[in-house]
């Protein structure tokens, strides 16, 4: 049973010309990676659906949301 899109699913593929490379812990971020993003007094944990210069779109298996990149203080891969 799947809880939404999984890494490698065709629906995770976007327009590569608008997506800028992003690195987390020295590794290139890919759609489908599970990350934790932290800001001032908040933390979000989810799968990367897409990103651009302004925001990261994430999904946790139940719902999706957007995190503005300029509000992120720390980002790392979920263990």
Encode the chain (79 residues) as per-residue pLDDT tens digits.
455 555 555 554 544 444 467 888 888 889 999 999 999 999 999 999 999 889 999 999 999 999 999 999 999 998 7
Tokens 């934790």 -> residue: 36
20-77: what CATH class? mainly beta
- CA atoms of 36 and 29, how far apart (whole Å): 12
pTM of the model: 0.70
Hey, where are the domains in the chain?
A: 20-77
Q: What tokens appear for 1 in the block?
A: 């049973």
The residues, any chain, with a CB within 8 Å of residue 18's CB and separated by 6 or more, are 52
Residue 59: CB atoms within 10 A of its CB come to 19
Task: List, in sequence order, every residue forming a beta bridge with 64; answer none if it has no partner.
Answer: 59
> Strands (DSSP E) along the chain, which ranges?
23-24, 27-28, 34-39, 42-51, 55-59, 64-68, 74-77
């Amino acid at each position: 049973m799947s809880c939404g899109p999984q890494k490698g699913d065709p629906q995770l593929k976007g327009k590569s010309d608008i997506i800028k490379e992003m690195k987390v812990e020295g590794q290139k971020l890919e759609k489908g990676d599970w990350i934790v993003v932290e800001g001032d007094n908040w933390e979000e944990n989810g799968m990367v659906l897409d990103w651009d210069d302004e925001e990261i779109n994430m999904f946790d298996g139940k719902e999706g949301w957007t995190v503005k990149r300029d509000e992120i203080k720390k980002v790392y891969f979920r263990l």
